[in-house]
Structure formats: structure tokens, C-alpha cells
Structure 1
Amino acid sequence: MEQTVPKEYYQYLHELQAVDFALVELTLYLDTHPDDAQALAQFQQFQRRKQTLMHQFESNFGPLQEFGNSPVGNRWTWSEAPWPWQV
């Protein structure tokens, strides 16, 4: 049975992937240019954006990761959201 997933689900995931890509690239750059204040400021900006996106996604669709998250209420909800290969 195929699940219907709202387009926002994919929009959040797409933006999270873009932000993660920028964070990886900035990490690599900062490894060789640790004194670049502008790059560090960009890195911190992307970190904040990622946290915001993750919070918004998880509020709407459930946890993104099974580890490091507290269960919601008295139930474990990780297995309730569609898995990436199910959408």
C-alpha cells in the first residue's frame, strides 16, 4: 500500500539536504581556514537553520532519527513515520 505524503514533506527534506551540504562544505573549508570569521558566521547561520528545519519537520512528520531523541509522550513514535523508501 502506497502512502500519500504531502509535498511539504519533500520540501523540508530537500532544504535539509541543501543545508547539510552547505555545512559539510563549510566544515571542510574551516578545517583549512579556521580564522575566517565570515565563514564561521555562515556555518553558525546554517546550523541554526538546520535546527529550525529539523524542529519543523519533526513537529509535522515525526522524528528524523531514531537515536538521540526522546520519545514523544509515553509512546515510541520512530516507527510510525513513513520510512524514506516508503515515500
Structure 2
Amino acid sequence: MPSSTSRFTEQEGAAVENKCYCLREQIRAARFALVELRLYLDTHPDDEKAQQEYCERNARVLEAEKEYASCCGIDPWVSDPWPWDYRG
């Protein structure tokens, strides 16, 4: 029978995993917005408001990535073998 401390550890682990998932999703959405802004700026290079928005969003993405790295470590796909590394 598991002790209460091991259940707490499991709950804590689940909370961290959930936080990591939420951070990953926020980063993905923010990166998508950056791509869209970059595409817009490709056709509207003189739009200073859009340029400012891009810089602000980019700074937020960098901060979110730092938070993710400090809470969750590196992305798991970085440490896993790449698709071409598998040998059949």
C-alpha cells in the first residue's frame, strides 16, 4: 500500500506535468502568432505598430521558453533519437 508521501509525490508530478503541457501549448500558440505577424510584416514593412507588437510578443515567447526550461527541462524531442537515427 503506497504511503501518503508517495501519493503526494505522484500528485506533485502530475501538477508539474500539467504545467509543462500548458506552457508548451502557450509557447506553440505564441510562436504561431509570431509567424503570422512576420508574414504580415513581409507585406507591410512600414507598419510600426505591427513591428512593436512583434518585438513584444517575441520577448514574451523568450520568457516563456526560459520558464519552461527552468520548470520542465529541455523539450523531450531534443533528447530522443531523431527519426533518421532509428535503425531498423
Q: Is the shorter-chain TM-score for this pair beyond 0.5, marking a shared fold?
A: yes
Q: Which has the larger radius of gyration?
A: 2
Q: Which runs of 5+ in 2 are unaligned?
A: 1-12, 81-88
**How far did residue 35 of structure 1 move?**
0.5
Unpaired runs of 5+ residues, structure 1, are 67-77, 80-87
Cα distance in 2 for partners of 1:20, 1:6 equals 21
- CA positional deviation for 1:63: 1.8
* Residue 31 (structure 2) aligns with: 20
Moved over 6 A (4+): none
Q: How many residues align?
A: 66
Q: CA deviation at 1:27?
A: 0.5
Given the two structures, how large is their TM-score scaled by the length of structure 1?
0.67
Q: Give TM-score scaled by structure 2 length.
A: 0.67
Matched, 1:54 2:65: yes
CA-based RMSD of the aligned residues comes to 1.9
